[in-house]
Structure 1
Amino acid sequence: MDMDDLAWQASNFRGLSPRRVRLLLERGHRDLVAQVAVERGEWFCAEGAVEELCQVGDFGRALSVMEPFVETGWRAASYAKSEILIRAGHRTDEALDLLRPEEAGRASTTECRDFAEVLGRAGRIDEAIELLVPHLDKSWLLSTLVDITDGQGRDERVLELIAPRADHVRQARGEGRWDYAHSNAQELQARVLERAGRADEAIRILGQDIAERRFLAQNTLVAYAELLARHGRLDELRELGDGQDARTVLNIYAGALRDDGRVKEAEGVVRDAIAADDWVGYRAWLSAMLLAEGRPDDAIAVAEPGFGWYDCSNLLTPLISPLLDRPEELLYLVEHPRVVPHHGHEEFQHWWRAWALAGLGRVDEAISVAGLDRPWTDPRIVKADLLRRAGLLDAAADELRALGTIKAREELCEVLVLQGRAEEAIAVHPTVAEQRAAEPKPEPAPLSESGYSLDPPF
């Protein structure tokens, strides 16, 4: 293994993917996953095995799994090893030395963030805070500061550091400027005040910012609404939902009513909003709520106007997604007379119906309606997936084994694990080298006389 292969795996979810590693671990194959990690240089196997080993206190073996990855010089592996050492409880200095910047003044913000997180886990909170202080002009490091100090008794110090940045946002907006450098400072200030037991103060300060429109990001508005909901301030939340920010916060108000047992009231609030402003977001929230409550016909009636819209606002997919593992209900939905094809992707409806039929054991019907002529997928892999969904694992394995492509072997691995043949599954799964070799190589772009590409991006 080398850093390039490891980075490629991590960024592309290749090698044995996190999903396949979870499947193996769920079926008790921890030792096999650990072995594969080391023998084949599989990063997600290493992560999964290390977590399982740490959970049972086998830190020595966890370190032995991670060590070959650390030896490549890949920083993510060093970070993982430092976590093992911290969890082991007696090798703190060694953990810190792994990530300690050689020259603190010249360390990158990412290096400082990583080291501060390790310092925090080692209980050296004050050092972590002071390491971050010079870098708090980066809003994402302000979030790191808040995260690593949670429950550490340093809320007053954190508030001192956040306050001038939150005030900077207020001043900028008061002057009509859009300076996003600290756009999350106000919500983080409220979060720290809340966890310090000063929720009323957090609500007062952030509420004034919202009322005076002295905030930069929609996330700040959402954070305020969620703060009100957590503390039962439903009257204030209702007023917020009735104003100009209704599209952002009305679902939070309705959700708070529902959590309070006022389900009919929550439904009424959103239906009134639809009557006044037929916005797709209101329909999406209400239809999902109705479906969760076992009212599919009502959910369909609410979502129906959006069934034929484009991808970004089509309301069929949000209803389909919760039902993918509930074939009877899925089939009811896709065969409902009010359901129309997905705009520009009519084949989705065929696939969904096929999955439902396969889940019900009606595999021949599933194959006949699956739309196996799609150019971007191999029809035999689609067929194998339907056979698998129908519980016909032997037939699915035969189909994939006969195909023999990289993709087919990846899918076959899962089927074999489900059959209890984990070692065979590992043997059939392509190696990282095979996966990389099978990646399509981009065609070189034609160049103009000036040497610039003739095709976008120019």
Structure 2
Amino acid sequence: MNVDDLSWQASNNRGLSPKRVTLLLEHGHLDLVIQAAAERGEWFCAKGAVEELCRAGEFGRALEVIGPFVTIGWRTALWAKADILLWAGRTEEALDLVRPDQAGRASTAECRDFAELLARAERVDEAIDLLVPHIDGSWILSVLVEISEGQDRDERVLGLIAPHADSARQARGEGHWDYSLSDAQELQARVLERAGRADEAIRVLGQDIAGRCYLTQNTLTAYAELLARHGRLDELRELATGQDAHTVLDLYAGALRRHGRTEEAEVVMRTAIAADDWVGYRAWLSSALLRDGRLDDAIAVAEPGFGWYDCSNLLAPLVYPLLDRPEELLHLVEHPSVVPHHGHEEFRHWWRACALAGLGRVDEAITVAEADPRPWTHPRIVKADLLSTAGHLDAAAAELRALGTIKAREELCEILVRQGQAAEAIAVHPTVAEQRAAEPKPEPVPMGENGYSLEPPF
């Protein structure tokens, strides 16, 4: 175990990943997870075990688990230990463990993290005091709003936010785009709303929107959501049918649905499609129809977008909600309107194979997947996944054992856990050292005099 390996695990979700640790814990293997943390230096095992132990009130054991990670000097583990101490009611120990430099040399990030810890310790005034000198820093205003939620400090927070909200209005009015201020107006409205001053929040933010005195689209979205929360549908309709329709019409239609006006929401969006066949309108309506169980109608709305490029393509948003509904998924991928399109031909192979496997038609599924000229991973891993989906765990495990690659062993770990062989699952999973050794090494690229690459990505 060393700091470099731990940092690599944390930033890449490697080692025994959070998903696999959760699976082990759900199957009741806390002791094995603790053992893996100690013997293999598995950070996510330590993290998962600590959370489980703290929920059970076993703070002493949690401190034992995190101890070795703290000892080597990894600061992330030090913060995790502070969390345990705070959860155990040992507030002063927790705070002393990670307290920023009293001489004022602490970074904005350190002060932000410590302020969040202070707020959790119910010392919100100290937390606010700590943030005030850093209030011009990125994200500090939003942290200030978060930590003061429900703490009866709204008036103080409003006083701190107001100058920044005014500066944002002034910056836009003068043609300046200071994005460090971009969320100040919506945060001001959010605090006014939670302080019971929703009408004032709507009035102030509404004036900003009407005067185009805001810096980002997020502020416009926040205003539309504010109107929706307070049932101001007439004002929201006026906003949604003007020049900002692409940004907020879906919020208006969603508000209508929440108020039981489903048919009206559908008419609004179909009218918009007829007038301006924008991908966003079709995406919203097809997804809404799918949620209502109207798959054929959803396909009809989305079909013109099945051939659009990349993120504008509307097939994938229909596929993903159906991955655990194989009968409907098969209906979708075999629908006559679904044809090959820009770089997403996988629906004929992988998505169709998933549907067939989910219906128990595993031999057909494997045949379909094997016909893919560009498999997304090793064909034996694809085959094992389909076998697993169809419930043939022994056959899936046999495929992965025979392949024996790093990726195959990672996948095998999950199957073994599901088969009740958790100890073997952990043993077969590649170590962090094996995973790192298998990572492809980037090719060196020529650099220009300015220090930037001469080849893409620049």
TM-score (norm 2): 0.96
Rounded to whole Å, the distance in 1 between the matches of 2:333 and 2:177 is 46
Partner of residue 52, structure 2 = 52
Classify 1:70/1:279 alpha carbon distance in 2 versus 1 (closer, same or farther; 3 Å): same
CA contact (8 A) 1:372 1:382 kept: no
Partner of residue 124, structure 2 = 125
Give 1:443 shift. 2.9
Paired residue secondary structure (2:72):
coil
Rounded to whole Å, the distance in 1 between the matches of 2:177 and 2:129 is 29
Give 1:44 shift. 1.2
Paired residue secondary structure (2:238):
helix
Give 1:19 shift. 1.1
- Could you list the per-position Cα deviations for residues 287-316 of structure 1 after superposition, in whole angstroms to 9, with x for gaps in the alignment? 000011010010000000000111120000
Give 1:375 shift. 6.1
Give 1:104 shift. 4.4
Partner of residue 209, structure 1 = 208
Rounded to whole Å, the distance in 2 between the matches of 1:453 and 1:139 is 28
Unaligned runs of 5+ in 2: none
- Percent identity over paired residues: 78
Give 1:139 shift. 3.6
Q: What does 1:305-344 correspond to in 2, within 5 Å?
A: 305-344=304-343
Rounded to whole Å, the distance in 2 between the matches of 1:349 and 1:54 is 47
Rounded to whole Å, the distance in 1 between the matches of 2:451 and 2:186 is 49
Q: What does 1:113-192 correspond to in 2, within 5 Å?
A: 113-192=112-191
CA contact (8 A) 1:139 1:184 kept: no
Classify 1:299/1:419 alpha carbon distance in 2 versus 1 (closer, same or farther; 3 Å): same
TM-score (norm 1): 0.96
Partner of residue 226, structure 2 = 227
Partner of residue 86, structure 1 = 86
Greater Cα offset, 158-167 or 444-453: 444-453
CA contact (8 A) 1:316 1:342 kept: no
CA contact (8 A) 2:323 2:329 kept: yes
Rounded to whole Å, the distance in 2 between the matches of 1:308 and 1:457 is 27
Q: What does 1:59-458 correspond to in 2, within 5 Å?
A: 59-89=59-89, 91-370=90-369, 371-374=371-374, 377-445=377-445, 455-456=455-456
Rounded to whole Å, the distance in 1 between the matches of 2:449 and 2:118 is 55
One-letter code of the match for 2:57? G
Cα RMSD (Å): 1.7
Rounded to whole Å, the distance in 2 between the matches of 1:222 and 1:446 is 43
One-letter code of the match for 1:301? A
One-letter code of the match for 2:200? E
- Could you list the per-position Cα deviations for residues 2-51 of structure 1 after superposition, in whole angstroms to 9, with x for gaps in the alignment? 11111100111100111111111222222221221222111111121111
CA contact (8 A) 1:209 1:215 kept: yes
One-letter code of the match for 1:77? A
Greater Cα offset, 4-13 or 65-74: 65-74
Partner of residue 12, structure 1 = 12
CA contact (8 A) 1:138 1:182 kept: no
Rounded to whole Å, the distance in 2 between the matches of 1:333 and 1:357 is 12
Give 1:373 shift. 4.3
Number of aligned positions between the proteins: 457
One-letter code of the match for 1:13? N
Paired residue secondary structure (2:328):
helix
- Could you list the per-position Cα deviations for residues 162-209 of structure 1 after superposition, in whole angstroms to 9, with x for gaps in the alignment? 000000011111222222221100011111111111111111111111
CA contact (8 A) 1:37 1:45 kept: yes
Unaligned runs of 5+ in 1: none
Paired residue secondary structure (1:312):
helix
One-letter code of the match for 2:258? D
CA contact (8 A) 2:380 2:403 kept: yes
One-letter code of the match for 1:23? L
